[in-house]
Amino acid sequence: MYSFVRQPKWMAAHVLVLLLLVTFLLAGTWQFGRHQKRIDRNDVVLDRADAVLLEIGDLFEPQDIFEFRLVQLKGSWSTSDSVLIRNRSHQDMAGCHLAIPLAVSSNEGVLVVAGWLNEPLCDIDQLEAPTGDVSLVGRVRLTQTRGAIGARDRADGVIRTLARTDVARVDQQVALSLAPVYVELITSNPSVAEAVAVDPPPTDLGPHLAYAVQWFLFFAVGAVGYPLVLRRQARKGDLEDLQDVV
C-alpha cells in the first residue's frame, strides 16, 4: 500500500518536508525565546525606573545594573561641545538627538542627550544649544558601539555629528573627562527649548509571541498534513491497482 514512499521522488519529498518541519520548529522556538527575553527586559526597565536615584559618582563606576536607573544631576552645559546623533526618529518623524556634555565639576562631565530635534533643526552650525547652569533628572544608558554592520564615524579630529551615542568618541574631543555612560534627559530646570524628550524604552511585548504561534502552526499543519497526503496517495494507488485487475 505504501510501497511508493521508497520511490526517489517521494524520498526527496520526505527530506524536504522534514527540513521544513525542523525549520518551523526552530523558528518558533527562537521567537518564543525572544518573547521571554522581552518580558525579562521589560521587568528590568520597570524595576530600575522605580529604584532610588543614582548619585553622580555612580556614573563613573559603570555597571550594567545601572542602565535604565534614574539619576539627578546639577551642572553647567558645555555648549561648545554639543554634537548631533544622526537619523533618530520620533513618532515617525525624521530628526536627530542633541547630545551635550554637562560639566558636573571643573574636570568631569556627563554626556546628556537633551532630546530629539526635528530634521530642519539638525544643523550643528545653526543650532542654539542651551547654556548656563541646569538641574535635571535623566535615565542612564550604556554607551552605544558599532556592531558588525553600520555607519562608521571618523576616528580622529573633532566631529559634530555622530552615527550613534558613542561616549568614548565624544570624550576624545572634549576637555572634560566624561563618565562612560550617557543620560537621556527626562526633566530639567530650565528646560531645553525645541528639544523633545527622548522616548522611554518600550515595554510592550512586541510581535514575537504571535510569530512563535505562527511558526508552530506551520509545523502542526505540516506534521498532520503530510501523512494525510501520503495516505491519500496510497489510496489512489490501491484504486488504480483495483482498476487494473478489473
Considering only CA atoms, give the Rg of the chain.
29
Residues 7-22 pLDDT 10s: 888 788 889 999 999 9
Distance separating alpha carbons of residues 86 and 89, to the nearest angstrom: 9
Residues 184-232 pLDDT 10s: 999 999 988 888 999 888 888 889 999 999 999 999 999 999 888 888 8
Sign of the CA dihedral with 49 first, then 53, 59, and 62 last: negative
Q: What is the H or E stretch that residue 167 is in? A: helix 167-171
The residue whose grid cell reads 527540513 is 19
The whole-model pTM stands at 0.80
